[in-house]
Amino acid sequence: MAIKVCKFGGTSMADGNVIKSVKNIIDGDMDRRFIIVSAPGKRYSGDIKVTDLLYDSYNALVSGGDFKKAFAAVKARYVSIVKELNLNFDINSVLEETEGRIIKERSEDFTASRGEYLCARIVAGVLNAKFIDAENVIFFDENGALNGEKSYKAVAEAVKDAPRAVFPGFYGVDGRGADGKVKTFSRGGSDISGAIVARAVHASMYENWTDVSGFLACDPRIVDSPRRIKSISYKELRELSYMGANVLHSESIFPVRRANIPINIKNTFRPEDEGTLILPTSRYTPCGNIVTGVAGKKNFTVIFIEKSLMNSEVGFIADVLNVLKKEGVPVEHIPSGIDTMSLVVESECLQGEKLNRVIEEIKQSVEPDVVRVIENIALIATVGHGMSSSVGTSSRLFSAIAAANINVKMIDQGSSEINIIVGVSNNDYEKCIKAIYREFFV
Ligand code: ADP
Ligand code: ASP
Ligand code: MG
């Protein structure tokens, strides 16, 4: 029998009524056997996600604030969910026990993980399914990276006799054996948990249920009702999600890609919609458009370096990168010319005195002619397999940006040939995405 693994995101868990629709979705297909849930998300615009309430609670706990009051907001969400579901589940005792453990552990990751933990306990009750704690089956190694092999084995073992099981997403346990501590993935990480379970049980499909009818050609908060992408390759997805299309966490494709498990993005609120299929490059049908999608992120800093004959100075780039390595600063992109190179870094990695230190050390290390810092840059990626074979794509892209009166401060065409990245001022971010969308999709 085919096995489908289904991950339901925060909005799909937001209140008891949505959880009832989730139950209908699961009951509607016998193959939907393994479920991963996020913590309850926003019920309406302006509402606060449970995960954010938990981070607030932790901050109150460690900074001498009113932890009880902050955690009361979390409790209220779960009490009302259980009530709406009319579920015979002693939520008050579970919340009390959870509160005690949060105070005892005093760990940010542990506190944040309780959103998913509590939600999965409730959903397991609703579905009458086995609850499997991620604490026992998802493992990180000593460096904080996922220990895939160990996790796949443990998940497979845990589901052996379970016709249906529910897992909390977002967390696992770090690599210190019996003394391991709960550790979370980065925000949005339940998508990764779902992919791990899909790989572990040899799923035929990883369904990712959210609040939009698939992966859209760009962020629907910027362009009104963008076109849906019917089918997209893992490669394109990786580029778009890494560059900000956070409908799916950018690291969630790794476990499934190795096993060729397709991902289907589906809408909990419109379950009959087809959604988007994410497939290996060899199996997917191109969308027929030159560009598949556009995505971007704000708040980068570009460090521009110029030195005559830079290209003939052996080790120049290595010396520059060593400065960043020493300062522990990750570099996103390195566009370069004959006598110039730029380092594109997320601004939050250069806070405080770090930027000045990096600049000083670069000056000492490679004695450049010019070092210039450009701040408040947004990066926008235009992605598609069709781009490399279609003459004139970049000229259309840059003409569209110029026609919108936007100044391009940086260009990086990467080596993957399916991606052109431009850097523009943060203030031009939305305008630039709209201009690119208009050029290639309208
Ligand atoms: P979940 O809680 O289900 O994991 P997320 O909030 O993480 O949901 O992701 C879904 C949201 O991603 C959508 O509501 C949408 O606003 C946003 N989004 C950003 N870019 C895109 C895109 N290209 N396609 C679809 N949704 C996108
Ligand atoms: N609840 C976590 C977050 O808000 C994880 C997730 O939703 O995937 O980031
Ligand atoms: Mg998400």
Mean pLDDT by 10 residues, the chain (442 residues): 95 98 98 98 97 98 96 98 96 97 96 98 98 97 93 98 97 79 96 98 98 96 95 92 92 94 97 94 80 96 94 89 95 90 95 94 95 96 89 92 96 82 97 97 93
- Three-state DSSP class for 380? strand
pLDDT of residue 288: 79
Query: Which atom of ligand 2 is the closest one to the Cα of 115?
Result: 1
CA dihedral 57, 59, 61, 64 (to 10 degrees): -130
State if residue 116 touches ligand 1 by the CB under 6 angstroms criterion.
Answer: no
Q: What are phi and psi of 363, to 5 degrees?
A: -60, -45
Which residue do the tokens 């606060």 mark? 48
State the CB neighbour count (10 A cutoff) for residue 302: 22
Ligand 2 contacts (CB < 6 A) are: 9-10, 38-39, 49, 51, 115, 169-170, 187-190
Cα–ligand 1 centroid distance for 116 (angstroms): 18
pLDDT of residue 177: 58
**What is the Cα–Cα distance from 398 to 407, expressed in whole angstroms?**
10
The closest of 409, 395, 405, 407 to 439, measured between CA atoms, is 395
State if residue 221 touches ligand 1 by the CB under 6 angstroms criterion.
Answer: yes
**What is the Cα–Cα distance from 105 to 119, expressed in whole angstroms?**
20
CA dihedral 131, 136, 137, 139 (to 10 degrees): 150
Cα–ligand 2 centroid distance for 440 (angstroms): 32
**What is the Cα–Cα distance from 299 to 401, expressed in whole angstroms?**
19
User: What tokens does 436 get?
Assistant: 């690119």
pLDDT of residue 390: 83
State if residue 247 touches ligand 1 by the CB under 6 angstroms criterion.
Answer: yes
Q: Which ligand is nearest to the CA of 50?
A: 2
Nearest CA to ligand 2 atom 5: 188
pLDDT of residue 130: 98
Distances (CA, A) of 358 to 171, 325, 341, 352: 34, 10, 15, 11
**What is the Cα–Cα distance from 39 to 19, expressed in whole angstroms?**
12
pTM: 0.93
